[in-house]
Chain A
Amino acid sequence: MAEVLVVVEASASAGVKKVTLEMLTFARTLGTPSAVVLGGAGAAAQFKDKLAEYGAEKIYAGEGDDVDGYLVAPKATVVASLVQQVQPAAVLLASTQEGKEIAGRLAVKLENGLLTDAVAIDADGTATQAIFAGAALVKSKVTKGLPIVTIRPNSTTPVAAPAAGTVEQLTVSVSDTDKLTKVVERVAEKKGSRPELTEASIVVSGGRGVASADNFKVVEELADLLGGAVGASRAAVDSGFYPHQFQVGQTGKTVSPQLYVALGISGAIQHRAGMQTSKTIVAVNKDPEAPIFELADYGVVGDLFKVVPQAADEIRKRK
């Protein structure tokens, strides 16, 4: 069976991201998964065990300062030369900012089609995409070249399938043009031990109704008790209550968790765009007419500062 390249999404602190394991799971329906690790020296060794556990027969290591020290372009060059070398059946990448950017450059280099934000992929490479804020589904195909598809986190349940995981070091050869944008610094902002927003199976979000940055601790407390990630509506982010990287909605992250809890969020189209494909939606809002209740499986009309602390106490009791 032909190889399927899976471009690994991982970080030194968080390890191999769940979306990578989902991609390896999807890749097995298309061929034999080969993971591609792009990062600093030693990255492949760090992630090897996990990648092998989830089915990576080979692990290609494109490592070094030339890959890690510059934005996106060197990574696309490494993947493009690997594609030419192994002629894979497909290339899967994560539907994250960087995953999409690598895919875009790869498509131009190979004059090849690409599909982004897939939530499923068939054995023939046909991808299912949720479009228009999750209001519609399309099935799409790459009609020129091989399928280059980016997979949205939380699209499938990762299934382990132990494989060899043989590491093969790649010779990294990038041009000066690939090194035009230098990464000077990587700054981690506080998140604690919470799961990644787009990968979490439970997300608890706060909106304008939370009313201040300080009050967000009510949202965080419930998220921590449920083992979830914290999100925020655009109104909350614009008001400075919570950082932008946690924004859920049209101009932020799209999430699709098992459970989405909306606290003090009215449910404007801007927000619904980022969360309405969640499996179960729960809302607390003091306005009984808030549009969020139109899509909530369970809604509580009430003051979130009374309802949420009571819920937190109740969860502690039941634990």
Chain B
Amino acid sequence: MNIVVLVKQVPDSGAERTLSASDNTVERASASNVINEMDEYAIEEALKIKEAHGGEVTVLTMGPAGATESIRKALSMGPDKAVHVTDDALHGSCAVATSKVLAAALGTLNADLIIAGAESTDGRVQVLPHMLAERLGIAALTGARKLTVDGSQLTVERQTDEGYEVVTAATPAVVSVWDTINEPRYPSFKGIMAAKKKPVQTLSLSDLGVDAGEVGTAGATSAVVEFSQRPVRSAGTKVTDEGDGGTQLVSYLTAEKFV
């Protein structure tokens, strides 16, 4: 099975994050950048399917030149190769434009199965898998906590608020996964060394036949007009339980009218 995993480089959610003062896009240049955590689960799932059914795993990333670091890290887990879509004109692309570019790149890769993390930690928009399916005219099985592959037939347990749904489709398809689906492997030393030699193909907008005016800040379909940091929450009252902590807690809740 020919599997493509979508990998995004994001600012570390454990560190300070901000928007760039000049154009209100996510500040990536000065941030500590990492692989989007959920994408590691997507890579793991792809590798497991390859191990069980054979095939090839390709990492697809759209991002600035510096995203190479995350691509090598992804490859060190075991994928065979990577495609890096990078172009200065992509800076500031909205979700609609991003899906256009990734769909164009996927058009060159002939994937049976496209696996993505359910959301990124920077945007948390969750729309990309369905946008890609819409553009490519293929199935989308999103929010998977379990994926079963039987020949060309895919079955997913999709997490919902009430419980889960069982959804099925045939390949080609886009699947997005939550972090409950597996436990991602750590790259081995051998994997890290091998990743340095794995092929990484770079594609520009003109390689993909996408007009620069349709992407980036120029082609964005939405814009941030105002940005402000929230006031930091400050600590309130802290008491130490000396036998009546529960009673004191309820007195507070009563004073605040929750009881």
A108-B102 Cα distance, complex, nearest whole Å: 13
Give a binary string over B161-186; 1 marks a CB under 8 Å from any A CB, 0 the rest: 11111111110010000111000000
User: Which residues of chain A have C-beta atoms less than 8 A from B19's C-beta?
Assistant: 131, 136, 138
User: Which residues of chain B have C-beta atoms less than 8 A from A237's C-beta?
Assistant: 180
- Among the listed A111, A114, A300, which residue makes an inter-chain contact with B241, where contact means beta carbons less than 8 Å apart? A300
A181 lies within 8 A of B126 (CB): no
B: interface residue count bin: 35 or more
- Among the listed B159, B238, B244, which residue makes an inter-chain contact with A245, where contact means beta carbons less than 8 Å apart? B159
* Closest partner residue, chain B, to A237 (CB atom): B180
Does B259 have its Cβ within 8 Å of any Cβ on chain A? yes
Does B29 have its Cβ within 8 Å of any Cβ on chain A? no
Minimal beta-carbon separation of B146 from chain A (angstroms): 11
Give a binary string over A134-148; 1 marks a CB under 8 Å from any B CB, 0 the rest: 111111111111000
User: Which residues of chain A have C-beta atoms less than 8 A from B238's C-beta?
Assistant: 288, 293, 296, 298-301
- Among the listed B14, B17, B131, which residue makes an inter-chain contact with A107, where contact means beta carbons less than 8 Å apart? B131
Asked, given contacts A104-B127, A282-B253, A293-B235, whether A244 binds B159 with beta carbons under 8 Å apart, the answer is yes
B226 lies within 8 A of A138 (CB): yes
User: Which residues of chain B have C-beta atoms less than 8 A from A184's C-beta?
Assistant: 155, 165-168
Minimal beta-carbon separation of A62 from chain B (angstroms): 18
User: Which residues of chain B have C-beta atoms less than 8 A from A138's C-beta?
Assistant: 19, 24, 224, 226-228
Residues 221-256 of A contacting B (Cβ, < 8 Å): 226, 237, 244-245, 250-251
- Among the listed B131, B230, B237, B249, which residue makes an inter-chain contact with A108, where contact means beta carbons less than 8 Å apart? B131
Does B23 have its Cβ within 8 Å of any Cβ on chain A? no
Minimal beta-carbon separation of A32 from chain B (angstroms): 24
A187 lies within 8 A of B222 (CB): no
The DSSP consensus for interface residues of chain A is: mixed
A111 lies within 8 A of B96 (CB): yes
* Closest partner residue, chain B, to A12 (CB atom): B162
Residues 179-224 of A contacting B (Cβ, < 8 Å): 180-189, 191, 196-198, 202
A182-B24 Cα distance, complex, nearest whole Å: 40
Minimal beta-carbon separation of B179 from chain A (angstroms): 5
Minimal beta-carbon separation of A7 from chain B (angstroms): 14
* Closest partner residue, chain B, to A314 (CB atom): B250
A183 lies within 8 A of B165 (CB): yes
Minimal beta-carbon separation of A204 from chain B (angstroms): 11
A140 lies within 8 A of B223 (CB): yes
Q: Which residues of A contact B (CB under 8 A)?
A: 11, 13-14, 71-73, 76, 96-98, 100-101, 103-105, 107-109, 111-117, 126, 130-145, 177, 180-189, 191, 196-198, 202, 226, 237, 244-245, 250-251, 258-259, 269-270, 273, 276, 280-282, 284, 288, 293-303, 306-315, 318-319
**Can you identify 13 A-B contacts, CB atoms within 8 angstroms?**
A71-B165, A97-B159, A108-B134, A138-B224, A145-B221, A180-B169, A180-B170, A181-B168, A202-B258, A237-B180, A293-B238, A300-B241, A301-B241
Q: Which residues of B contact A (CB under 8 A)?
A: 13-14, 17-19, 24, 37-38, 94-96, 99, 121-122, 124-131, 133-135, 137-143, 145, 155, 158-170, 173, 178-180, 220-230, 233-241, 244-250, 252-254, 256, 258-259
